[in-house]
Amino acid sequence: MHIKTASIHFLLVLKLIDNAFSFTIAPQKGPITSLTLRELAANVQVTWPFAEPSNADETEQRGDFQIPNTGVSVSDEIENSAKDRFVTEVVPIKGLTGVAQLVTTAVRTGSFEPVRYLVPLSPLPKTKKEGEADRSVHAARYAMIDIPPYSPQLLGQIQRFLGKESILALALITNRDAIHYDSAPAIYSARRSDLKLWKEALPDLEVVAYRLDIPRECRPFVTQIFDGYGPFGLKDAIGNEAYFNASFTELGRPLTVEEWDDDLAEDILSGQTEAEQEADLNENDLFSPEDIRLKEDSMDIVAVYTPGHSFGSMSYLFPSQNLCFSGYTIPVEDTRIEENMGIGGAGPALDCRGYISTNKGGIGRQIESAVSLVQSYADRFKVVLPARGDPLFLDGDHEERKRDLLEILDQYKMIGDIYERLGILNDGDSD
């Protein structure tokens, strides 16, 4: 009687559990005993309803988070599900030989990603079909402007675009906001720059950035650090495929550090140091605007320090190709035509994630940098390739191009002043 009651209770428990789980029970004939109970338990096959999906990429399941397999925690699964997924396409730019945009789209959240670029260090010879180059024949070194999300698929696209004979030699960072991070919202521990993945995939890739815009986790992967006011120049070693020095040379007056002693203290108290006196004497010969310009003429890339959007923002000129990769420095994105028919042409976007509301170094500082860039180099580029918006092709001679760009900067300053008075953004001094 005791065994029979226990057996009934056991079967009732199995029946209740069967509502949540799927069991396969071997058929049983005759009375149930303690021996047959053990055999029955041994023959029960349980199908766990929260099993890992067959497709490893399929993370969204019905109900709450799936219970992961051994070695992966529920916290890892939650963190992974909070991350966005990004798709980046290599889009050749019509009319620019060998130049392409890297356009990134967020799969889930629609979060904003800046536009990155691929550009040859030296001009590529054109084929009979205007605007294209036979990259499978001509070996070239390429630069990647800013750091997109890494994936083997994107790397494959880039390699196909470059061709078999060309290599990706440089990564030029315009500002820290253009470095992609594989991170989940509000999870600091998951903040990892994709720069590490690019360096692992391309160990010889030279990475260049300004000192103030290098996040701590990116420092081990930056191979050259800009410091000082520049400008900086790089010459592509055309014809020398065996050796390529990817180091920029400072073309302007370099920063110097003086050892502190009594003589230096006395010079400072007198109003001018001996080093400053010597520098003033040599300025006309070594670092005059004319001398710097002559040195720039021999360079394939000129890197210009343009703080404003961030404290370490850089702009990169490719004078022989008439290109300016300005990052966020020159605000040329236009999203206003439908709403403001009286305002046409490129200009600062009036959205919550535009050039103005994402500024960190101060509107005044950015305007000063952008005006200096336009005034000094408008004769060196005909196309602006920004981090926001489409490439801007400028018409006319360099004076007309300069006038058009200065008008855009005037609009940007006017809107920025209004934003500051309304308290929407600060002047950058507190950042």
Nearest alpha carbon to residue 213 among 98, 136, 328:
328
Question: DSSP letters along 72-93, please?
Answer: --HHHHHHHHHS--EEEEEEEP
Question: How far is the CA of 84 from the CAs of 60, 143, 182, 300, in angstroms?
Answer: 12, 27, 8, 37
428/408 Cα distance (integer angstroms): 21
How many other CB atoms are there within 10 angstroms of residue 190's CB atom?
Answer: 16
8 Å CB contact between 401 and 336: no
Backbone angles phi, psi at 304, to 5 degrees: -115, 130
384/400 Cα distance (integer angstroms): 14
Q: What is the 3-state secondary structure (H, E, C) of 105-165?
A: EECCCCCCCCCEEEEECCCCCCCCCCCCCCCCCCCCEEEEECECCCCHHHHHHHHHHHCCC
pTM over 0.85: no
Backbone angles phi, psi at 223, to 5 degrees: -95, -20
254/372 Cα distance (integer angstroms): 19
Note down pLDDT in tens along the chain; length 431 residues.
Answer: 555 555 555 555 555 555 544 444 445 555 545 445 455 445 555 444 444 444 444 444 444 545 555 555 555 555 555 566 788 999 999 999 999 999 998 876 666 789 999 999 999 886 655 444 455 456 889 999 999 999 999 999 999 999 988 999 999 999 999 999 875 444 455 567 899 999 999 999 999 999 999 999 899 999 999 998 989 999 987 555 545 667 899 998 776 666 666 776 776 677 665 556 555 555 556 678 888 888 999 899 999 999 988 999 999 999 999 999 999 999 887 654 454 444 455 656 655 456 666 777 778 898 999 999 999 999 999 999 999 888 999 999 989 999 999 998 988 888 878 877 877 665 554 33
426/431 Cα distance (integer angstroms): 9
Nearest alpha carbon to residue 240 among 122, 320, 100:
122
